[in-house]
């Protein structure tokens, strides 16, 4: 009976001491990695695409080459087209500006 009490005391002591050796602070949530960020960005850009078009876009976007270059704002596009239209006049300039501003790049 004395041996059982001794074993019980050792086990109980180990159970009570275990929390002292445990890690006291919970680990911080892991930071999102670049692949997760890339997936989030690509999903946002592919919001209007469906089916095979979306699948192809996501494959290209997530590839090692990275996400496609962000599209220019309307203001940036206007500035770029104006620069390219230097030297054009009249209907030629008007047609060029219409075509240039309608392209998505």
Q: Yes or no: say if 41 and 67 are a contact pair by the CB < 8 Å rule.
A: yes
Quote the Cα angle for 28-34-40, to 5°: 100
Distance linking the first and last C-alpha atoms of the chain: 85
Residue 39 and residue 64 share a domain: yes
Domain-located, residue 79 = yes
Share of the chain residues as helix, strand and coil, in percent rounded to the nearest 5: 65, 0, 35
Position 82 in a domain:
yes
How is residue 13 written in tokens? 């002591």
Query: Tens of pLDDT along the chain (105 residues)?
Result: 677 776 766 666 666 665 555 555 555 555 556 778 888 888 888 888 888 888 888 888 888 555 456 677 888 889 989 999 999 999 999 999 999 888 765
Whether pTM > 0.85 for this model: the answer is: no
Which residues form the domain of 52? 35-68
Instruction: Answer yes or no: do 98 and 75 share one domain.
Output: yes
- For the chain, the domain total comes to 2
Structure tokens that stand for 50 in this block? 């469906």
């Amino acid at each position: 009976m004395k041996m059982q009490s001794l074993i019980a005391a050792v086990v109980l002591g180990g159970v009570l001491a275990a929390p002292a050796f445990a890690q006291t602070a919970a680990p911080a949530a892991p930071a999102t990695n670049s692949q997760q960020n890339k997936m989030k960005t690509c999903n946002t850009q592919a919001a209007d695409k469906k089916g095979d078009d979306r699948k192809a876009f996501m494959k290209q976007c997530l590839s090692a080459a990275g996400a496609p270059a962000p599209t220019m704002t309307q203001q940036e596009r206007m500035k770029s087209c104006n620069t390219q239209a230097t030297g054009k006049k009249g209907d030629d300039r008007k047609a060029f500006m219409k075509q240039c501003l309608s392209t998505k790049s």
